[in-house]
Amino acid sequence: MADNMVEQIKKLKEEKDVVILAHYYVDGQVQELADYVGDSYYLAKVATKVQEKNILFCGVSFMGESAKLLNPGKKVVMADENADCPMAHMVTVERIAEVRKEYNGDVAVVCYVNSTAEIKAVSDVCVTSSNALRVVKKIPQKNIFFVPDNNLGRYVAQQLPDKHFIFNDGFCHVHKSISKEAVEEAKKARPDALVLTHPECTMDVLEISDFIGSTSEIIDYATASDAKEFIICTEMGVFFELMQKNPDKKFYSVGHRQFCPNMKLVTLDKVLHSLEVMEPEVILPDDIMEKAKLPLEKMLELAE
One digit per residue, the tens of pLDDT, for the chain of length 304 reads 678 999 999 999 999 999 999 999 999 999 999 999 998 888 988 999 999 999 999 999 999 999 999 999 999 999 999 999 999 999 999 999 999 999 998 999 999 999 999 999 999 999 999 999 999 999 999 999 999 999 999 999 999 999 999 999 999 999 999 999 999 999 999 999 999 999 999 999 999 999 999 999 999 999 999 999 999 999 999 999 999 999 999 999 997 779 999 999 999 999 999 999 999 999 999 999 999 999 999 998 998 8
Q: Is 255 exposed, middle or buried (0-12, 13-18, 19+ CB in 10 A)?
A: middle
| 3 state DSSP class of 93 | helix
* Omega before residue 280 within 30° of 0, cis: yes
123-to-108, 126, 223 alpha-carbon distances in Å: 8, 7, 35
- pTM for the complete prediction? 0.92
| 3 state DSSP class of 221 | helix
Domains located in the chain, CATH noted: 2-83+263-277 (3.40.50.10800), 87-171+286-303 (3.40.50.10800), 178-253 (3.40.50.10800)
Task: State the alpha helices, DSSP H only, in the chain.
Answer: 2-15, 28-33, 40-47, 61-70, 93-102, 117-120, 132-137, 150-159, 173-176, 180-189, 203-207, 215-224, 239-245, 268-277, 286-303
